[in-house]
Amino acid sequence: MKKLNCLLLFLAAIVALASFGCKKSEAASSQIELSVLNYFSMTNPNAAEEVNLIWDVFDKANPDIKVVREDLFGEPYHYKVESYAAAGQVPDVIQCWPSGRSTSLHTQHLLKDLKPLIDKDGLAQFFNPASLDPAGQGAGYIGMIPRGMTATNAHFINLEVLRDCGLQPAKSYSELKAQVPILRAKGYDTVLMSNEETWVMQSCLFSLVAGRFCGEAWEQKIISGQAKFTDPDFVAALDFIKTLYDDGVITRSTINTPYGDAPGLFATNKAAYYDDGDWQVGAFLTDASTGEALITPSRQSNFLISVFPDIDVPGVKLNRSNSVVLATGWGMSAAIPAGSAKEEAAWRLVKWLSGKESQAFLVETGTFAIPSRTDIDMSSLDLEPLQITAGNLGREYDTATVVIDAAFEGPVYTPLNDGLQAIGMGQQTPQQVAAITQAAFDAWKATQ
C-alpha cells in the first residue's frame, strides 16, 4: 500500500501545482458545487484510506470544485436512487450499476451519455473494450464508466476446517452433500451465506444456478417471449435451491444472517465454505488504518477462492460457469448542460474516480479483483495472497452467464428475490415462485 500511497500523493502534488496558478483567483471568488451520491460504507476495511487517498486528494488538487458527497450503502442507497429517479433528477455525479439495480437511471435517461467526453479525451484506449460497450448498459449508451468486472459468485474455501475433518474441497454437489454430516459432527456448517437480505441468494448463487440449468443467454429467451420462468429448466433451478436447504448444505439459519456478518463467521472457522461475490475479498484484508485483518496475510494461504462446485444432477446444461456483470462505476446527471463549467468539473471528477490511480487503489484494497482499466501494472501493486487468488478466479470457470438483477428490472427480480427466501423458509414451492415471477414479468412487459 505504501507504494500506491506515495504515487497518489506525488500525483496530487503535481496536479495541485499545475492547477494552482490558474485556479487560485477563481477558487477564491467562487466554487462549482457538485452533488455526489456514493455507494460506500465507512465500516469497510480501508474506508478511511479511500476518503484520504481518493476524495481528499481530489479536493486538494481541485480547489475550484466543492464536492458535497452523500455516502449510502446497501438498501438505503437503492431506496435513495429510486426516489431520485421518481423525481426525475439525480445528483451531478453518481456511483451506479450499468443496469440491474440502477436500471431506472438508464431507462429514464437520467444519466448523461459519456461517449462524446470519452472520445474527446481519448480514454477508450485505457479500458477493457467490454467495459465501454454500450450494449452492456441499461439504455444502450455509456451512461457510466464501470470500475471493474464482477463475478457475483465467489466460493470461498476454508482449508483449515476441511483438514480438521479430513476432507478435501468438494468438486461436485454430490461431494458437497456428503460432507454435511462429517462437518456437522465437528460443529461446522457447510456453506455459509448472508441470506437475510433477499438480493444475496439471487445475485451470489441463484444467478449461477439458473445459468447452469437454463444455459447461456437464457434471459434473452424470456425477454423475447421464447421462454418463460415457469418452464421446467427454471423451475428445476429453483428446486435446486430448495435441495440446498433440505440437504443441509445451506442451513435455514443463514436467512437470519445479516449481510456483513458472514465474513467474520467464516474467518473464525464457523463453516467450510462461504458463497458471496468477489468484492467480499476486501472484507478479509488488512485494514491500513488499524493494521488488523479478519484473515491475516500469513493465514490466507489456508483459503481458496473458486466457483460453486459442479452441479451433478439431472437437467444441468452447464458446469464450470459463473454469473458475471460489469461492476459499479461513475456517471453524470443528464441535466448538466453540455459544454458548461459544471460539466467540465463533473467530468474531471468522473475521470479521477475512474482513473488509473483510483482503480489501482481499489484493487489493492480488495474492492475489485479485476479493474476495467488495462494500463494498471498488477505486479507493481502491494497485494495480499487472497487478492492474488481472487485475481485468478476467472480461470475457475469457462462460461459467463447473466446476473438476474442486471438483466431484469426491479418489478421482476424483487418477487423472485423474495421467493428464493420463501423457498428457504418452506413458505412457497419452486413452482409457486416461478409462477409469481412470470406474472411479475408479464405485468412489467405490459407497461413497456
Helix (H, G, I), strand (E, B) or coil at 315: coil
Domains located in the chain, CATH noted:
2-146+328-367 (3.40.190.10), 151-324+387-446 (3.40.190.10)
The pLDDT value recorded for residue 29 is 57
The pLDDT value recorded for residue 6 is 46
The pLDDT value recorded for residue 23 is 46
DSSP 132-155: G-GGGSTTSS--EEE-EEEES-EE
Residue 433 in contact with residue 420, Cβ under 8 Å? Answer: yes
How far is the C-alpha of 73 from the C-alpha of 91, rounded, in Å?
16
The pLDDT value recorded for residue 11 is 54
Q: Which three cell numbers stand for residue 310?
A: 459442479
Angle separating helix axes 207-214 and 232-246, nearest 10 degrees = 130
Q: Which three cell numbers stand for residue 416?
A: 423472485
The pLDDT value recorded for residue 41 is 85
The pLDDT value recorded for residue 74 is 87
Instruction: Enter the pTM of the model.
Output: 0.81
Q: Which three cell numbers stand for residue 284?
A: 478479509
How far is the C-alpha of 186 from the C-alpha of 283, rounded, in Å?
26
The pLDDT value recorded for residue 357 is 95
**What is the phi/psi pair of residue 154, to 5°?**
-120, 120
Q: Which three cell numbers stand for residue 167?
A: 476432507
Instruction: List, run by run, the mean pLDDT of 10-residue segments along the chain (448 residues).
Output: 49 46 50 96 83 95 97 92 94 93 92 98 92 88 94 97 98 98 98 97 98 96 97 98 98 96 97 96 91 96 97 96 93 98 98 96 87 88 92 90 91 97 98 98 94
The pLDDT value recorded for residue 7 is 53
Nearest C-alpha neighbor of 57 from the set 3, 15, 108, 92: 15
How far is the C-alpha of 174 from the C-alpha of 9, rounded, in Å?
52
Residues counted in the chain = 448
Q: What is the chain's Cα-based Rg?
A: 22
